[in-house]
Structure 1
Amino acid sequence: MVKIRDFAVERWMDLYENEAKHNLAETCCASISLHDLQALAGQHIDLVDFSQKQVYGAIRGSLPLRSNIARLYSTDEMHSVQADGVLVTNGAIQANFLALYTTVGPGDHVICHYPTYQQLYSVPESLGADVSLWKSTEESGWQVDVEELKALIQPNTKLIIINNPQNPTGAILHRKILQKIVDIARMHDITIHCDEVYRPLFHSLTPTQEQPPSILDFAYEKTISTGSMSKAFSLAGIRLGWIASRSPHIIDACASARDYTLISVGQLDDRVATHALSSPCVENLLLRNIELARKNLGALDAFVREFGWAVKWVRPQAGTTAFIKLVDRQGNSKNDVLFCQRLQAKTGVMLVPGSQCFGGGVDFQGFVRIGFVQEHQVIVDGLRALGQFIRDEYDDVPVMP
C-alpha cells in the first residue's frame, strides 16, 4: 500500500476555515460570480447552453479552451505554445499529481524548491523517489543558490521541481536564475516541473524589472508547467487546471495516466473557463486582480510597519500570499501554531502556521502565511482584529522552546 504524509496545510484548512470569521488564510484572488464574468467580458455571453447534451465532452479539454490556455504562454511567435501542448485537468492539484506520477518512481532522485506546497515533495516521496529540498531562506529574500542546486544533483536525479511565484513567500525566480536552472537541467538531461499556479499575478515588480518568463519560454523540451483557474483567475469553484509542455511525450504520458483518474472535466466548467480566458475578459480579470493585490498589499505593508516590533517579513513580489515571522521583543520566534489557534479562538481570524503546514514542525518556526488578495474589506477587518489581538494577547503567546 502506498503511504503518503498527511497534507498538513489542507488538513489545517479543513479544520479551521468553516469557523473563521476573518479568513486571512485564503490563497485565491477574490472569487467572482458568473455575473461578474459577464461584466468583465463587456458583453452578454451565454455561459450555459441549455440545449447542449451533457456528455463527457472533449477528453483532453475543448480546443477553444486549450487554445486560450496556450495563449497564456505565447509571448511571441518564436516561443508560442500550441493547443496540443495543453492537457486540461481537475485543478492544478491533479495537474501536479499526474505530472509527478508519470515522471518519477522508485529509485529516482528529485530536487524540490523549498518552502513550497507540500504536494510537490510528498507525492514524489510516496512514489518511491528520494527527495532533496533545495532551500531558500528568509535571509536571502527567499532566493535560491544555483551552486547548491549543482551540489544536490545525483546520477539518478530525474526531476527538478520549482514553484514560481512561490507559495507561501510570494518570491519569484527571475529570468537569469531560470536560465541557469534550465542550463543545469539540460546538461544532466533532467526534466523541470514548474508549478506556475500563481502566474501571472506579478503585482510588485519595479519599472525596471522584467516579468519573469514561464519555464516554457526557454528552448528546452523537457519542461512542464502547471496552472489553474483558481488562484490568479478567481474561479476556484469550477475546479479546472492544466498541464502544459512542449514535449508531446510528456503530454501523452500524462493523458494516459489521467484515464485512470478523470475521463474529462465537466462541459460547463470547460465553457466557463474558455470564456474567462478569452479576450478581453482575461485581460480585465487580471487587471482587476493585480489592482486588488496592490491595494491590499498596501494595507498589509502598513500593518507590518505598525507592528514592526512583533512581525517581520520579506515583502512578496507576486502571487497572493505573504510569509510573516512572529517574534517577541528579544527577537525569539513565537509558537506559530499556538498563535494561530488562540488568534482564531479569540477573534475569528484564520492564519496558517508555517512550521506545521510548510516545515513539518522543524522549519519555519514562528512563521504564518497570510492570503491578502481577497475583497478589500475582508483584509481591512481581518487586520484590524489581528492588530487588536497583538496588542492584548501577544505577550501571552509562548516562544518556541
Structure 2
Amino acid sequence: MAPPPPFAVEQWMDEYETTAKYNIAETCCASISINELVSLSENKQIQPSDLIDLSAVQNYGEIRGSPGLRSNLSRLYSSKVGTPLPPDNILITPGAIAANFLVFYALLKPGDHVICHYPTYQQLYSVPTSLGADVDLWRSEPEDKWLPDFEHLKAMIKENTRMIILNNPQNPTGQVLPRSLLHKIIDLAESKGITILSDEVYRPLFHGITPMDAEFPPSILSLGYANTIATGSLSKAYSLAGVRVGWIASRNRSIIEQCAQARDYTTISVSQIDQQIASFALSPETLHSLLGRNIQLAKANLELLERFVVKHDEYCSWVKPVAGTTAFVKFTRDGKPIDARTLCTTLQEKTSVMFLPGDCFGEEWKGYVRIGYVNRTEVIKEGLEEVRKFMRKEYDDLPLFE
C-alpha cells in the first residue's frame, strides 16, 4: 500500500477553520452540546448525566459495537422495507471516514478495477488508488444538474470491476442519485457481481425532495441486492461530529465479517461513552426532533444562500442543492473563472469568512467554491453579509483563471 496523496479538503479545513469567525465551509449541521441534545428528546425526564453510566468499567466493551446502538441503526435501515436489517449486519467505527477506509482495506486488492461517482470526497478514490486499485471516475457535470450518465457507467465496466462507489447525497454539490438511476445501477452491478459502496453520510438530510417524490432516493440497502454497503456517521446530519461514531452496514453478512477481521488491525473498538451518546441520539424519542431541527435549519439557511446567489447572479452560478449541507458555487468575472484559492484566502483574511476552494475536489473545478450552509443561522446570515460587502469592494481585484 502506497501512501495516498495529501487530502486537499482536510488540509484546507485544518489550516483555516479554527481562525474563521464565519465558517461557511463547515459540512456538519450546526453542532450541538449534550445539553442541547437532551433538550431535543421527547423524554423530558432524562438529564444529561443520565446518558453516561459513570459506574461502568471503561473496558473495550462490545467489540463490534454496543447492542443498543446497533439496534437503533437496524431500525433506521429496516424502515419501510420488507426484510429488516439484523443488528449483526452493522459494524460500528470511529466515524464514517474510518468506515470507508475499512471497506476499501478489507475488500480491495491490487489490480481490482473501481468506479467512483465524481466529484466527491477525495478519500473515496484516493484510498482505493493507494491500495493498488485501478480507479475510473464516473463524472457528473453541472450542465446535467450533477446527474451522471448511466450509459457512461455501463461503458466503464470491465471484467475486473470489483466495486462501484457512490456518494448519495453528494458532497460537494448537494445533489442526489434518484431512485430510478439507483435501480439501474443495482441491476447492472448485480448482473456482474459487483459490490456497491454508498457513502450516505449526508443521509437523511433531505430538504429539497420528500419521500412522496417518485424519485426520492432510498438507502442503497433498501433495493434488494445483497452486495451493497452503506456507511454513515453522526457528524453531518446529526450534529455530533465530536462523538466519533460511524458505521458500516450491509445486507451481506460475509462483507461485514471481512470488514470485522480487517478492523482488528485498526480499531479494536469504539469508545463506550461515545456509543452511549450515539445510541441516545438515534433513539426514537430523540432522532426525529434532532433531524427535524436540522432539516428546518438547512431550509432556512439555504434561502439565505439562494438570495445571495440571485443577487450576485452576474458572478455566481449553481445547481441548487436538494440534500445534505453543501453547495458548489461557481464564481466568474467577464466570463472567466475566478482564482478560487485567492478568493478564499483573501476573503478569510479580510472578512474572516471561510469558503473552501473547489479545486480541492479536482483541478477541473477551478472557479468553484464549496459552501457549507447548515451552520447556525446567525453565522450564515452575518457571514454572507460580509461576503456581500467584499463583492462590492474587493471582487474586481481578484485574479482570473485564463
Summarize deviations over 1:272-323 as a string: whole Å, max 9, x none. 0000000120010000000000000011011111111111000000000000
2:118 corresponds to which letter in structure 1? Y
CA contact (8 A) 2:81 2:222 kept: no
Aligned partners of 2:370, 2:83: CA distance in 1, in Å? Answer: 35
Instruction: After the TM superposition, list the runs of 4 or more consecutive aligned residues in structure 1 that deviate by more than 2 angstroms.
Output: 206-211
Which residue of the partner structure matches residue 364 of structure 1?
Answer: 365
Summarize deviations over 1:140-192 as a string: whole Å, max 9, x none. 00001000001111111100000000000000011100000001101111000
1:304 corresponds to which letter in structure 2? V
Matches within 5 A, 1:1-400: 2-42=2-42, 43=44, 44-45=46-47, 46-205=50-209, 208-328=213-333, 330-355=334-359, 357-359=360-362, 362-400=363-401
Aligned partners of 1:105, 1:353: CA distance in 2, in Å? Answer: 32
Q: CA deviation at 1:132?
A: 0.2
Summarize deviations over 1:220-249 as a string: whole Å, max 9, x none. 110000000000000000110000001111
- Sort the Cα spacing of 1:280 and 1:162 in 2 relative to 1 into closer, same or farther, 3 A: same
Aligned partners of 2:26, 2:143: CA distance in 1, in Å? Answer: 26
Q: CA deviation at 1:266?
A: 0.6
Aligned partners of 2:129, 2:163: CA distance in 1, in Å? Answer: 12
Aligned partners of 2:83, 2:323: CA distance in 1, in Å? Answer: 23
CA contact (8 A) 1:68 1:278 kept: yes
Aligned partners of 2:375, 2:368: CA distance in 1, in Å? Answer: 21
**Larger displacement relative to structure 2 (237-246 or 39-48):** 39-48
Aligned partners of 2:309, 2:78: CA distance in 1, in Å? Answer: 38
Aligned partners of 1:188, 1:103: CA distance in 2, in Å? Answer: 16
**Larger displacement relative to structure 2 (22-31 or 207-216):** 207-216
CA contact (8 A) 1:202 1:211 kept: no
1:175 corresponds to which letter in structure 2? R
Summarize deviations over 1:172-217 as a string: whole Å, max 9, x none. 0111000000011011110000000000000011664553100000
CA contact (8 A) 2:302 2:373 kept: yes
Aligned partners of 2:286, 2:79: CA distance in 1, in Å? Answer: 18
Unpaired runs of 5+ in structure 1?
A: none
Q: CA deviation at 1:50?
A: 1.3
- Sort the Cα spacing of 1:77 and 1:13 in 2 relative to 1 into closer, same or farther, 3 A: closer
Aligned partners of 1:30, 1:313: CA distance in 2, in Å? Answer: 23
**Larger displacement relative to structure 2 (228-237 or 99-108):** 99-108
| 3-state SS of paired residue (1:28) | coil
Q: CA deviation at 1:354?
A: 0.5
CA contact (8 A) 2:180 2:215 kept: no
CA contact (8 A) 2:179 2:214 kept: no
Q: CA deviation at 1:77?
A: 4.8
Aligned partners of 2:284, 2:216: CA distance in 1, in Å? Answer: 20
Aligned partners of 2:344, 2:200: CA distance in 1, in Å? Answer: 28
What is the aligned-residue identity percentage? Answer: 55
* TM superposition score normalised by structure 1: 0.97
Unpaired runs of 5+ in structure 2?
A: none
Aligned partners of 1:86, 1:170: CA distance in 2, in Å? Answer: 26
Q: CA deviation at 1:76?
A: 2.6
CA contact (8 A) 2:69 2:275 kept: yes
* TM superposition score normalised by structure 2: 0.97
